[in-house]
Amino acid sequence: MNTSHPPVKIYGSGGHSQVIRHVLEENGYRITEVFDDHPEGVHRASVNVVKGLRGKDKNSIIQSTPMVIAIGNNRQRAEISQLLQSNFQKVIHKSAIIASNSTIGDGTVVFAGAIVQPNTVIGKHVIINTAASIDHDNIIGDYAHISPKAALTGHVEIGEGTHVGVGAVIIPTVKIGKWCTIGAGAVVLKDVPDYCTVVGNPGRIIKRQVPPVLPENNSEEIPFDLAFIGAGISTAFTLLKSLKKLPPQSKKIRIAVIEKSGEFFTGVAYGKRSGHSTHLITALKDFLPKPELNQFTDWLNLNKDWLLKRLKEEGGSLTNEWLYSNRKAIQNGKWDHLFIPRSFFGSYIQEKLQETIGEYQKSGKIHIEYVTDEIEDIQREEFGFYLKGLQKNIKTKKAVLGIGSPKQRTLNVPESIPNDRHLFISNPYEQGMNRVIKQIIKSLKSNHKKNVLILGSNASALEFLYKMNDLRGIDSKVGHYFFLSTHGLYPNSIVDTNNEKSFIPKHTLALLEIQKLTAKQIMQGITNDLNDAEELGIGAAITVGPISNAFVPLLEKLDQREKERFACYYGNEIGRRQRVAGYHYTKTIDVLKSQGRFSHLKGSFEKLDLADHQQLSLVYKTEQDSIAILDQPIDIVINCLGSSKLSDLEAPLVIRNLIDSEMAKINPSGRGLTVNQNLETSKGLHVIGPLLAGNVIEGNPIWHVEHCGRIISIAEILSKVLTTPSEKYEEVEPELKIHKLDNGRDVNIYKEILKEYDEHPYYRYEYFKHHSQDDNQLLVVELKHKGRSLAIMPLVKRKIAHGQYSGYFDVTTPYGYGGPLFKPEVTADLKEVFWDLIEKWYQDENIVTEFIRFNHNENHVGYNGEIIPTLKNIKGRILNDPEKQWKQFKPKVRNNYRKAEKNHLTFQSFSGKKISRDHIASFHAVYTETMDRNNAASFYFFHLDYFENLIFSDPDSFILTFAIKDNEIASTELIITHQNSMFAFLGGTRTKFFSYRPNDYLRVEIIEMGRQKGLSWYILGGGRKDNDGLYKSKKHLFPKDEDFVFYTGRKVINREVYNALCGNKLPKHNGYFPKYRVPKLQEAAST
């Protein structure tokens, strides 16, 4: 025994403890004590075991003697280490090979035959088990366990608490998240997110656990900067977007998230309260807008194994039927047309938000606390607001009220009804779907079959009907199902494509001819069309598309007051008549109907009466306002009626108190609070979610906030408000408007905007529209301030088709001179704001890189990316004196011109209305021949119709010039004119005329033409590279004029994705940017 070693204590007395004890004793250590929380269950070889933390003062356990936690369970090891806070002993077997420049954390054990190669860092309390191989430059987090014969190759990262199973292999550069389980023998080929279980070869994720959001105590003394009241999906997206908009150098922001249910960031619809086997009522493609849709489908493909496993565990026969009928789509990752379980999206958004919050907390930008409480009152104070909850009070500078819809309308139920014979579910989602189902199963234990009444026929009603027929033990014991709803209609799902093509909303479309409309006129037109559809037996699944497409453009014909009326009175009514759902939901009704077990009553609920023999009867009011009594008894009642109005007593107490204190006002819809354009009911108190119903936001009537696309767009608006300093926002900060040029309406809007910029030819839609091919999207970003347009910039948004990064994009300006067009009054500060706003938008849109081609007017000044002086461009002054101009030409130009004249070349030009299609076709033929001769890339082969559309969009801005030899075109150039300049756009020369030097002849004549037209500048561009032959041939015309520099701007927005796309092995390519688009290397980058 080596007495130089201090004595050691061991915590744990199982099999793992025996191995550690053996290594310690072989290394000459003396074990003084062994602790275990359950000494009665210790390993047979353990001796001197005493009670652990639960039976002993932990200070007596710690003392000064080093401790080894000899427990194989990673979580228990982590928990005990944090409780003890002792001095912890490393344990390393003599036969282990550890590089001298590797780091081993305290409490870590390395067993026999293990190898740890150079530059590896191993955290605290890690287990490196027998014969495990840890190669160079690995990072292993605290509490991890690398099992026997597991092999970690170079540059692998293992997260905190992760267990790597026996014989598992992790290939180079792979990152494994925290608290993962890598199964025995798994071969992991790609990164694994936190909390995942991976098995197989190749490794695949079969389970993913969403980390719990734990409440934390907050300080009542220091006000939070921001508090969210309610933690549903609207809060989730607002918080996500707000975090991404935080300025880089902002101070730490303290945020409180308050949720009465304790379930954060999913809301009722997407969390536990709806269960795991209830579905969206729309197809996924209609539920989420891009790019969020692309990100979500990528996540689904990565996580589908454990999601489907969870779905199977909760679901029954109908769930299995859904899985079977959609198996091929799921297997192939084709999710767009599926009505997926809602909980899938809840898990996704919760995980995404938790990862983002973790990132920002780690960087020190935010401190966030979660509070499980119900806020009853909001009082204004000097510092902001005082939030009074049932459990605690919270101070905050700003507050966001996002508590969702009011409670459902209360049932009129007699107190005398015996609860042992009847079941009443008044607010089903408050209890949670699974809990309600358990109550129903319990109530069905009697021998006789029971009748079920579901009040309402909305999505909630369909969900409960579906769920009750999905599970064993319910449906076989139900005699009859009843729906009661005002219209007697439930959401439609059957789509007959023939009817869809034939259905035309003629009444609504007729309103397009009217310049100024009222909300009532639009409602009447839609009502007439829906009535026609009902008479023809055409359901909502067919009418919803045509009618929506017809009436949405009409909303722009409404003034502000009429838009408010539409949002308050008509929007929801249209929605109620056009509800749709997935076929799996409505099929349940069809089956029950075929069995004679389903009835849909048309009317409104009045009350429940207790009749003779203790039977419960439904009393309801019919369409004709007469009272009817259902002739069959009711045993189970589920209330799926719509929410109460905010003025009702059922409204949340916090709303009633805000109304009483005049800090908020109910708008005429009765379902929402009136807000300003900052989404405030009063200064600093913002609203999100369903409480925005009945408002007009950025010119758009809002009658509900349940569609995810609308939730995301409103979250974008509020996030801008929340992240803008108050003193600046009060001055009305500039905003960025995005115009997506994918339809005629938006193109026309852009053309109107361009008129404010002198209709610059290089910014015409017809100039850059050819970029829309190959899945590219044409956009124009516009800087606006106080309703005025200050800057515009066309962009091409390009999809990155690289495997797992297919949800990412990059942007470039169109070919030629581009970048932003600034109004003269735009200051340097405003230019900085412009670029900052664009960069924030890029982050939200998953843009990886930006490439800007600037124009000749120094619009690169103020750019916040890397500015590259790319090429010298010739800008020649057209002199008033033609003789002086002639003398300035290089001798070669003058000689070439004389030679052309001797060979009887002549000059022709056509502009404005004199340009014909034949002229354009002649130009195009020479241009195409020139491109062929020079082996130009396919992109530069512009079609004839491109030139026709471009030139005829504004003929006065274009001049077609020709050098003619023997009635044939020898050379041609298309000139763009703007203000006092003419630009050499595109041209070409026929090979057989080279000897006559038509190029110089044509350009000298163009200069003379420009002089006669009173133009001052001739801009010829540059060469393929500086000082090449092409450049020199142009420079010979203006040898004394100073060139201007053609700048390009390059910016990497997402460095991590950019590096992954480029790969470590891609060579440099002469400054090609972005590098992953080097033509010959794109395929390599994607593999």
What positions carry a catalytic annotation? 136
N residues, the chain = 1087
Query: In degrees, to the nearest 5, what angle opens at C-alpha 178 toward C-alphas 353 and 171?
Result: 115
Give the distance, in angstroms, between the CA of residue 659 and the centroid of all CA atoms in the same chain. 35
Contact 207, 309 (CB under 8 A): yes
Is 38 marked as binding a ligand? no
Contact 833, 794 (CB under 8 A): no
**Quick count: other Cβ atoms within 10 Å of Cβ 114?**
25
Query: In degrees, to the nearest 5, what angle opens at C-alpha 286 toward C-alphas 282 and 289?
Result: 140
Give the distance, in angstroms, between the CA of residue 490 and the centroid of all CA atoms in the same chain. 31
Contact 6, 66 (CB under 8 A): yes
Is 924 marked as binding a ligand? no
Q: In what order do the strands lie in the sheet with 121-122?
A: 103-104, 121-122, 139-140, 157-158, 175-176
Contact 103, 121 (CB under 8 A): yes
Task: Locate 185 and state its tokens.
Answer: 């023998």
Task: Locate 962 and state its tokens.
Answer: 């020709």
Q: To which H or E segment does residue 895 belong?
A: helix 891-902
Distance CA 209, CA 372 (A): 22
Cα 436 to Cα 340, 533, 702, 744, 938: the distances in Å are: 22, 37, 33, 50, 63
Which residue is it, tokens 């990132």?
A: 359
Q: What amino acid is encoded at 1058 in this protein?
A: Y
The answer for residues whose C-beta is within 8 angstroms of residue 683's C-beta and 6 or more apart is none
Q: Is 925 exposed, middle or buried (0-12, 13-18, 19+ CB in 10 A)?
A: middle
**68, 91, 83: which is closest to 13 by C-alpha?**
68
Cα 640 to Cα 433, 485, 844: the distances in Å are: 12, 10, 36
Distance CA 490, CA 470 (A): 19
Task: Locate 133 and state its tokens.
Answer: 């191989």
Q: What amino acid is encoded at 790 in this protein?
A: L
Distance CA 702, CA 667 (A): 12
Contact 748, 780 (CB under 8 A): no
Q: Provide Rg for the chain, Cα atoms.
A: 36
Q: Report which DSSP code applies to 352.
A: H
Residue 680: strand pairing partners: 686
Task: Locate 973 and state its tokens.
Answer: 């150039």
Distance CA 174, CA 181 (A): 15
Distance CA 492, CA 265 (A): 30
Buried b (16+ CB within 10 A) or exposed e, 359-397: ebeeeebbbbbbbbbbbebbeeeeebbbbbbeeeebbbb
Within the chain, how many helices (H) and strands (E) appear? 34, 54
Angle (deg, nearest 10), helices 459-470 and 583-594: 70
The answer for residues whose C-beta is within 8 angstroms of residue 575's C-beta and 6 or more apart is 703, 704
> β-strand 375-381 against 366-371: which pairing, if any?
unpaired
**87, 73, 97, 88: which is closest to 17 by C-alpha?**
73
Distance CA 282, CA 819 (A): 40
Binding site per annotation, positions for substrate:
72
Binding site per annotation, positions:
72, 145
